[in-house]
Amino acid sequence: MCQVALPPTISRRRFLTLGAAAGVSALLTACRNTSGTGAFGRNPDTFSPLPPGSPSLAGPVAAAEDATLTIQAPVGAHTLARPATARLYDPNGDDLKRLPPEAGVLAWLEAGDPTAERIIALQQLPPLAATGDIPAELPAQPAPTGETRSLGRLTLITRPGWGAAPPQWSPAGEAPFDAQTNPAGYLTYPEPLAPWLTTLVVHHAALEFHHGPRTIQRLHILRKGYADVAYHFFIDGLGQLYEGRPLAARGAHTGGYNTGTVGVCLLGNFELIPSLQAQLDTLQALASTLGREYALTHLAGHRDFQPEATVCPGENLWSALPAVAAASGLAYGTAGYRPPPW
The pLDDT of residue 128:
59
The separation between the first and the last C-alpha atoms of the chain, rounded to the nearest angstrom, is 23
Return per-residue pLDDT of the chain as tens, 342 residues.
464 333 222 222 223 333 222 233 233 323 433 322 222 222 333 434 466 667 888 898 888 888 998 999 999 999 999 888 888 888 777 888 887 766 778 787 776 666 667 888 888 766 655 556 788 899 999 999 999 999 999 999 999 999 999 999 877 788 889 888 888 889 999 999 999 999 999 999 988 888 999 999 999 999 999 999 999 999 999 999 999 999 999 999 999 999 999 999 999 888 877 888 999 999 999 999 999 999 999 999 999 999 999 999 999 999 999 999 999 999 999 999 998 888
Range list of H helices, the chain: 24-29, 159-162, 213-218, 277-294, 302-305, 315-318, 321-328
d(CA 55, CA 321): 16
- Entry pTM: 0.85
d(CA 99, CA 115): 24
- According to DSSP, the residues that pair with 58 across neighbouring strands are 106
Of the candidates 230, 203, 196, the residue with the CA atom closest to the CA atom of residue 339: 196
The pLDDT of residue 130:
53
d(CA 286, CA 321): 13
Non-local CB neighbours of 137 within 8 Å, separated by 6+ positions: 218
Bridge pairing between strands 241-243 and 154-157 = parallel
d(CA 194, CA 290): 9
Residues in the chain: 342
The pLDDT of residue 86:
86
The pLDDT of residue 83:
86
d(CA 127, CA 134): 15
Instruction: Say if residues 47 and 328 touch (Cβ distance below 8 Å).
Output: no
Domains along the chain? 57-123 (2.40.50), 148-332 (3.40.80.10)
For the chain, state the CA radius of gyration.
19
Cα distances (Å, whole numbers) of residue 208 to 123, 182, 333 = 15, 35, 28
The pLDDT of residue 234:
98
Q: Number of H helices and number of E strands within the chain? A: 7, 14
149, exposed or middle or buried, with CB in 10 Å at 0-12, 13-18, 19+?
exposed
The pLDDT of residue 158:
98
93: helix, coil or strand? coil
